[in-house]
Amino acid sequence: AQRVTQPEKLLSVFKGAPVELKCNYSYSGSPELFWYVQYSRQRLQLLLRHISRESIKGFTADLNKGETSFHLKKPFAQEEDSAMYYCALMRNSSASKIIFGSGTRLSIRP
Amino acid sequence: DAGVIQSPRHEVTEMGQEVTLRCKPISGHDYLFWYRQTMMRGLELLIYFNNNVPIDDSGMPEDRFSAKMPNASFSTLKIQPSEPRDSAVYFCASSLGTQGTLYEQYFGPGTRLTVT
């Protein structure tokens, strides 16, 4: 069965410090992976997807198939990064069904 | 486009009452998803539809929950009878059934349900 694990419910770092939100998945095939973000009083929205190999708002995430991980990283945290982050997996052949992790709340201290 | 629309935004009800949550997906999207968000379990997929047909309802907690999609622009999630443990934020999302670089789910603002 597919599963997405985010081991940290809460991550608190100082402004300017590096950030890494951990995500591990279990899936035997080739998944598509995403990070979604929910800022305070805003809708849950797509942050980035591994297939695009993009950097959004300074965040990057690399798919490591050997470690089955898709950690989200940013070298210098900003206060506006405080939000709830969800890692998500879609099977390569799925009909659009996404499995979400339990989420990590990122808090940036000034 | 106003995006995915959900109503009501907040619902407070007493245990045993029927609750109906409503969702209007983005026009043209052929997939619709219902999720439940709680502190303990995060974001859980309850059920999803493709072209108004339920595809996977394995996440629906029990028979007290039911969902319908009578047409492409409207869906309901009903809880009857409601229980305090149903208290959560319920999200509706929609998407186009494409994969790869174009794939994205668009979420509504959610309905915060409190069952007392």
Cβ contacts of A98 on chain B, cutoff 8 Å? 33, 45, 105
Alpha-carbon distances of A92 from A41, A55, A61, B75, B106, rounded to whole Å:
32, 22, 18, 27, 19
Instruction: Report which listed range, A37-51, B10-24, B33-47, B54-68, is most confident.
Output: B10-24
Q: Which residue has the higher pLDDT, B63 or B6?
A: B6
Sign of CA dihedral A74, A79, A80, A83: positive
- The strands making up A72-74's β-sheet, listed across from edge to edge, are A19-21, A72-74, A60-61
Q: What is the pLDDT of residue A32?
A: 86
A32 to chain B nearest CA, in Å? Answer: 8
Would the pLDDT of A108 be above 90? Answer: yes
- Give the one of A43, A86, A97 whose C-beta lies nearest to B109's C-beta: A43
Sign of CA dihedral B81, B86, B87, B93: negative
> Could you give the 3-state DSSP secondary structure of residue A53?
coil
Contact B42 A100 (CB under 8 A): yes
Among A102, A104, A105, which would you mutate to test the B interface (most chain B Cβ atoms within 10 Å of its Cβ)? A102
Q: For residue B24, count other CB atoms closer than 10 A to its CB.
A: 19
Q: What is the pLDDT of residue B98?
A: 58
Would the pLDDT of B100 be above 70? Answer: no
Q: What is the pLDDT of residue A25?
A: 95
Would the pLDDT of B5 be above 80? Answer: yes
Is residue B45 within 8 A of residue B33, CB to CB? The reply is yes
Would the pLDDT of A1 be above 90? Answer: no
Chain B interface residues (partner A, CB cutoff 8 A)? 3, 31, 33, 35, 41-45, 48, 50, 55-56, 91, 93, 95, 97, 99-101, 103-110
Q: For residue A8, count other CB atoms closer than 10 A to its CB.
A: 16
Would the pLDDT of A92 be above 80? Answer: no
Instruction: Tell me the β-bridge partners of A26.
Output: A3
> Could you give the 3-state DSSP secondary structure of residue B28?
coil
Average pLDDT over residues A32-41: 93
Tell me which DSSP letter residue B98 carries. Answer: -
Would the pLDDT of B96 be above 90? Answer: no
B37-61 confidence digits (pLDDT tens) = 998 888 999 999 999 999 989 899 8
Task: Please report which confidence band the pLDDT of residue A19 belongs to, taking 50, 70 and 90 as the band edges.
Answer: very high
Give me the percent of chain B exceeding a pLDDT of 90. Answer: 76
Q: What is the pLDDT of residue A94?
A: 58
Q: List strand residue ranges (DSSP E) for chain B, in order.
A: 5-7, 10-13, 19-24, 31-38, 42-50, 53-56, 65-71, 74-79, 88-95, 106-107, 111-115
Among B96, B98, B105, which would you mutate to test the A interface (most chain A Cβ atoms within 10 Å of its Cβ)? B105
A59 Cβ neighbours under 8 A, 6+ residues apart: A35, A47, A48, A72, A73, A74
Amino acid letter, A1: A
Average pLDDT over residues A71-96: 88
Among B1, B6, B43, which would you mutate to test the A interface (most chain A Cβ atoms within 10 Å of its Cβ)? B43
> Tokens representing A78?
């900003």
Q: What is the pLDDT of residue B41?
A: 83
Q: What is the pLDDT of residue A93?
A: 59
Q: What is the pLDDT of residue A51?
A: 78
Is residue B81 within 8 A of residue B13, CB to CB? The reply is no
> Could you give the 3-state DSSP secondary structure of residue A25?
strand
Tell me which DSSP letter residue A59 carries. Answer: B
